[in-house]
Structure 1
Amino acid sequence: MSMIYTIGFTQKKAKAFFELISNEMIKTLIDVRLNNVSQLSGFAKRDDLAYFLNELCDINYEHAPELAPTKDMLNAYKKNEISWEEYEDKFLNLMSQRLIEKSIRPAIEDGGCLLCSEHKPHFCHRRLVVEYLNDNSNLNLSVKHLV
C-alpha cells in the first residue's frame, strides 16, 4: 500500500502550509489546479511554490492539469448552478474519459501530495482523484489529508 497525501492552501499561512508538508514523507507536490498562476494564490502561485518547496523542504513540484476539472465544470459548481453530487459525477466521468489511470505519474505512488485550493477535502476534487485511482487502477493508495 502506498501513502498519498492531499493538501489545500487556502486558510493557511505559508508557515503552517510548509510545516505540514515538511513533517511528512512527501517527495513531490502534484498541483492538480487548473489555474496555478492566479494572483489569488499568494505563496501558492506556480513559480513561487516550486521555489519554496525546493528551498525549504527539498520537495519537487509537478503540475498535473489532467487531474483538474474543466473551467466550465468548476464555474458551474462555484456559481451553484450544479450541486456537489452533480459536480462529483461530472468530474468522475471526466477522469474516466481522460483515462487518468493509464497515465499515472510515478510521483503519485512515491511520496506524492495532491495540491489544490480547497481547505478541506470533503468538497474537493483532490479527494475524488484518489478515490477514482483506488477504484480504477491497480494502485492501493492510503490517503492522509493534511489540514
Structure 2
Amino acid sequence: MSQPINLFTIGFTQKTAQQFFETLVQAGVQRVIDTRLNNVSQLAGFAKRADLEYFLQKIGGIQYIHCLDLAPTQDMLDNYKKKKGDWATYEHQFLQLIRDRQIETRVSPELMDGACLLCSEPKPHHCHRRLVAEYLHQQWGTLEIHHL
C-alpha cells in the first residue's frame, strides 16, 4: 500500500454517547475494532457489544468487529487493574503477547485502514489500543495513528 493507512483509536469512558458517536462519524471511521476482552459489562453502558454494534450501524453506517487477538489476557488485566500493577510491567507483557500472537498476520492493512481501535480507557497513554497501533506501525511502516 503506497497510501498511508489511517488508523484511529478511541476510548468510550468519560464521553457521552453523543460525543462518542459524533467523534467517530466526523473522523470518517468506517469500522470499529473492539479490542476489549470483556465487552458485555453493565459498566460499558452504550458500549456493550450488542448495543454498540446497533448504534454504530444506525448512527454512522459503521461496521463493528470484536477482535480478541488485540486484547490482553484476563490475568494481565487483573494484575494491572485489580492488583494495581505498574504500567511498565503491563506494557512489557502486552507487547510480548501481541508479538507472540503475531497480530500483524491476523489483521490486514486493508482491515485497519479507516478503522478505529476501541477500548475503555479515556486517553491513549496507558492503554493497550495505543500499543497495538504503534506495534502495527512498526511492522507495516505505513500507519498514521489518530487518537480521538
When normalised by structure 2's length, the TM-score is 0.93
Question: Is the Cα–Cα contact under 8 Å of residues 29 and 62 in structure 1 kept in the other structure?
Answer: yes
Match of 1:51 among 54, 58, 61: 54
Task: Using the TM superposition, give the Cα deviation of residue 81 of structure 1 relative to its aligned residue in structure 2, in angstroms.
Answer: 4.7
Counterpart of 2:5?
Answer: 2
Structure 1: any 5+ residue segments left out of the alignment? Answer: none
Question: Which secondary structure state, in structure 1, belongs to the residue aligned with residue 29 of structure 2?
Answer: coil
Question: Which secondary structure state, in structure 2, belongs to the residue aligned with residue 130 of structure 1?
Answer: helix
CA distance in 1, matches of 2:84, 2:13: 23
1:114 partnered with 2:117: yes
Percent identical pairs in the alignment equals: 53
CA distance in 2, matches of 1:14, 1:25: 17
The alignment's C-alpha RMSD in Å is 1.1
Question: Is the Cα–Cα contact under 8 Å of residues 77 and 84 in structure 1 kept in the other structure?
Answer: yes
Task: Using the TM superposition, give the Cα deviation of residue 139 of structure 1 relative to its aligned residue in structure 2, in angstroms.
Answer: 4.4
Stretches (4+) displaced over 2 A: 79-82
Question: Which secondary structure state, in structure 2, belongs to the residue aligned with residue 23 of structure 1?
Answer: helix
Count of aligned residue pairs for this structure pair:
144
Counterpart of 1:78?
Answer: 81
1:40-86 CA distances to partner (integer Å, 9 max, x unpaired)?
10000000000000000010000001100001101101134531000
Counterpart of 2:31?
Answer: 28
Structure 2: any 5+ residue segments left out of the alignment? Answer: none
Question: Is the Cα–Cα contact under 8 Å of residues 30 and 62 in structure 1 kept in the other structure?
Answer: yes
When normalised by structure 1's length, the TM-score is 0.94
Match of 2:66 among 63, 66, 69: 63
Within 5 Å, give how 1:6-17 maps onto structure 2: 6-17=9-20
CA distance in 2, matches of 1:107, 1:25: 15
